[in-house]
Amino acid sequence: MRRGLSLVLALIAAAAAFVPSSALAQASETAVKAAFLPRFARYVTWPAAAVPKNDDPFVLCVIGDDPFGGALDQAARSQSIDGKRIIVRRMGTAAGVDGCQVAFVGGTPSQPVGQLLAAIGRKPVLTVTDARGGGQRGLIHFSIVGGRVRFFIDQAGAERRGLTISSRLLALAVGVRQ
Amino acid sequence: MKAIPKRISAWRSAPVAIFIAAIMIVLVGVAVIIQSDNSYRDARRDFAISQAQILAASAAAAVDFNDPVAAQEAVNPLRVITTLRSAAVYGRDGQLIAGYDRSGEAVPALEQGIAPASSDLMRVSAPVEMAGQRIGTAYIQLDRQPVWRRVSRYGTLAVLVAAASLIILGLGFAQRALRSANRELANRAEALAQANEMLGEQMEERAKAEDQLRQSQKMQALGQLTGGIAHDFNNLLTVIQGSADMLCKKELPEAKRVRFAKAIVQASENAAALTSQLLAFARRQPLKPERLDLNRVLAELQDLIDRTMGERVQVSMKLDGPGCSVEADKAQLQSAILNIASNARDAMIDGGRLRISTREANEPGGRMIAIDFADTGHGMDAETLDRVFEPFFTTKGAGKGTGLGLSQVYGFASQSGGEVRAESAVGKGTTVSLLLPCLGEAEVRQVGEPVERAAAPQRSAAILVVEDNDEVGVFAESLLSELGHKVTRASSAEEALHLSRSNDFDLVFSDVVMPGMGGLKLAEVLAAEKPALPVVLATGYSQEIAETGSGGRPVILKPYRLATLSDAIAAALHEGHEAAG
């Protein structure tokens, strides 16, 4: 695990210091986002009904296009939440979102991000979107600020869905909508 | 005195104890400071650890998301800690995420190694954990407080400890000083005792010297008096002897014989007066107040005053005051008058006038008669005047006066219910006034005066004359024989007693002062043995009679004259006869 992370970090460092090419930058950007995704779960409290029971794992869903690939699986494996594993599920529609605690909404040409978010509605799911995927924002929205991967948080939206986001995470956000 | 050395020995070990106490206090103070410093360092360490833990917790999310800005935001609040040298947050692999260094230098990565902690740095770290996993490290380096700051923190305590030690040491030194002072005091007390002893000896010597001086003064006075008396008596004796020699001549015309006899009588009277005054002056008269005519007392004293004042002082008496009788001891009154006169004389060394006068004075205390003694001497200033009646106060040179003269006057006046006053001014003379209560019109008493009358028909009686002096005895015997009595003579009281037991006498005529049994004792014994036997006593001067009286028996004062003796014998025989009859 450590080796993996160090690899990621080394990639980040390499990307920042020596390889300013856009392709490489985008690749490392995706890796960082992949590393972030399972970690968000630690700073979020779900309603009791939405928390996985017993030995059930936390479910991290990727709805629509998956920009992460194996990097996300690797990141998920390296993390755990309250001793529960994290598994990654990829799905084309929002139909199976009920089993997800965290959902990266990628959008597809047929189903844009906004539509998918609308489909998820007020379900207690921590939705994550990316600025590269369009202007529609989930509860957490990746953005590049100052050449670094940062994120916005919609705290009000989270509350409406029964989610509580830790102030520590809020402190890391570029902006918080309240 | 002996208690002091004991007390000193009890305190001898005190300075050592005090020194030890001072050291103990310093040691305890140092121990308290070290202990306090240790606990302070522990507290600082706890503080640093807690700060590192807070940093670790607050930077956890930033480390988790590798967010240097957020991590820096977690680090920055620590800057308010004044002793913060540096603070840093490191990632899982020791890479620096955010840091702060007070000196502005870059904070090195953990894996590059941080400079080892020096003695003035305190370094603590705390793990940054997330979900039970260590994801990084929080580091804090604090300045240790410089030694001088720590010392100054305990400055108050140190000052207190130092003060306490100083006080205790001061006490020790004071104790030591006190001890030496005590020793000094003891020495001085001893010296003082010695000085006191010496003083006592000196006082004793002085008293002895004074006694000797007084004795020699007495002897000198006695010599003067003796010389004066001898001179006067020689004059009188010259008259008596010469007249007696002339009387012894045969075929002397009757007129001349009477003249020489009268001259002898006159000279004897003068001699008698002289001795009487001497005795009065010597205060050897019976000490009892009697009613006296003041003017008369003064008149009697005129001769003596004249003699006392000498030739340079002219004495005038103007006794025209009221005829007052006063109650006073005659001898003391005479003495007082002579004392005042003597003082007046001494104030007039170059001569002058002394005027003695009497007058009536109405004082608050009642009617008084005053005797004024006004001299024309040098007078006195106010200060001297204030003290003039003080005993032993004298303006005269050593050996010239006792300083008791006027105080005797004062004492006498007070005792007699009167007072004495002095008025004076320098160069204007002095007036001393002796005031005595006036008891009424003077009764002129004729005491001891021979009464000129025809000799009463004398009953012949058997008389035992007791006289140790042969001449006086023969004289008395011849006088009594002349009066027609049958005289037996005894030369001592013992012989008289013996004779009286074997013979019947009508009267005993005895001298008072005799070797062996005296006249008074003889009279007492005879009174017990033969109560009806009258005793007549004769004396020139007797301390005994002056002090205790004669027990009611008639006393004839020597020198006595024929008429006096005759009257006294006749009266005693008459009384004895009446008592017997």
- Measured between CB atoms, which of B67, B73, B130 is closest to A42? B130
Dist. CA B454–CA B456, nearest whole Å: 6
- Digit-coded pLDDT (tens) for A26-38: 668 888 899 899 9
Contact A90, A62 (CB under 8 A): yes
The CA distance from A159 to the nearest CA of chain B, in Å, is 21
How many domains is chain A partitioned into structurally? 1
pLDDT of residue A15: 45
DSSP B454: P
- Measured between CB atoms, which of A9, A166, A171 is closest to B70? A171
More confident residue, A158 or B33: A158
- Measured between CB atoms, which of B65, B92, B95 is closest to A172? B65
pLDDT of residue A14: 46
In the predicted model, what is the mean pLDDT of chain B? 80
Report pTM: 0.41
- Asked if B129 has any chain A CB less than 8 Å from its own CB, the reply is no
Dist. CA B548–CA B529, nearest whole Å: 22
Asked whether residue A42 is domain-assigned, the answer is yes
- Asked if B73 has any chain A CB less than 8 Å from its own CB, the reply is yes
Asked whether residue A1 is domain-assigned, the answer is no
In the predicted model, what is the mean pLDDT of chain A? 83
* Over residues B196-221, mean pLDDT: 88
Asked whether residue A149 is domain-assigned, the answer is yes
- Closest of B94, B63, B93, B108 to residue A6, by C-alpha: B93
Choosing among A168, A169, A174, A176, which should be mutated to test the B contact, i.e. which has the most B CBs within 10 A? A168
pLDDT of residue A128: 94
DSSP B112: G
Q: Which residues contact B304 (CB under 8 A, 6 or more apart)?
A: B277, B281, B338
β-pairing, B462-466 vs B430-437, is unpaired
Question: Quick one: pLDDT band at residue A7, thresholds 50, 70, 90?
Answer: low
Asked whether residue A14 is domain-assigned, the answer is no
The CA distance from A43 to the nearest CA of chain B, in Å, is 9
The interaxial angle of helices B254-281 and B155-248, nearest 10 deg, is 170
More confident residue, B198 or A28: B198
* Over residues A53-69, mean pLDDT: 88
Name the residue of chain B whose CA is nearest to A8's CA.
Answer: B66
Tell if the CB–CB gap between B131 and A169 is shorter than 8 Å: no
The CA distance from B105 to the nearest CA of chain A, in Å, is 21
Choosing among B54, B65, B96, B130, which should be mutated to test the A contact, i.e. which has the most A CBs within 10 A? B65
- Digit-coded pLDDT (tens) for A125-166: 999 999 888 788 899 999 988 888 889 999 999 999 999 998
Residue B335, pLDDT > 50, answer: yes
Domain containing A95 equals 33-177
Tell if the CB–CB gap between B61 and A5 is shorter than 8 Å: no
Contacts of A5 in chain B (CB under 8 A): 92-93
A62 pairs with which residues across the strands?
A90, A104
Q: What is the CATH number of the domain that holds A95?
A: 3.40.50.2300
List residues in chain A touching B: CB distance below 8 A.
2, 5-6, 9, 12, 32, 36, 39, 42-43, 80-82, 166, 168-169, 171-172
Contacts of A42 in chain B (CB under 8 A): 64, 130-131
Task: Please provide the DSSP assignment of B77-96 as one string.
Answer: GGGG-TTEEEEEEE-TTS-E
Asked whether residue A2 is domain-assigned, the answer is no
- Digit-coded pLDDT (tens) for B113-135: 666 666 678 888 899 988 778 88
- Which of B83-87, B326-330, B549-553: highest mean pLDDT? B83-87
Could you tell me where the DSSP H helices lie in chain A? 2-17, 22-40, 70-78, 113-120, 155-160, 167-172
Asked whether residue A9 is domain-assigned, the answer is no
Tell if the CB–CB gap between A171 and B65 is shorter than 8 Å: no
Q: Which residues contact B178 (CB under 8 A, 6 or more apart)?
A: none
Q: Where are the beta strands (DSSP E) in B376-532?
A: 419-424, 430-437, 462-466, 486-490, 507-511
Name the residue of chain B whose CA is nearest to A168's CA.
Answer: B61
Name the residue of chain B whose CA is nearest to A146's CA.
Answer: B69
Asked whether residue A4 is domain-assigned, the answer is no
Asked whether residue A97 is domain-assigned, the answer is yes
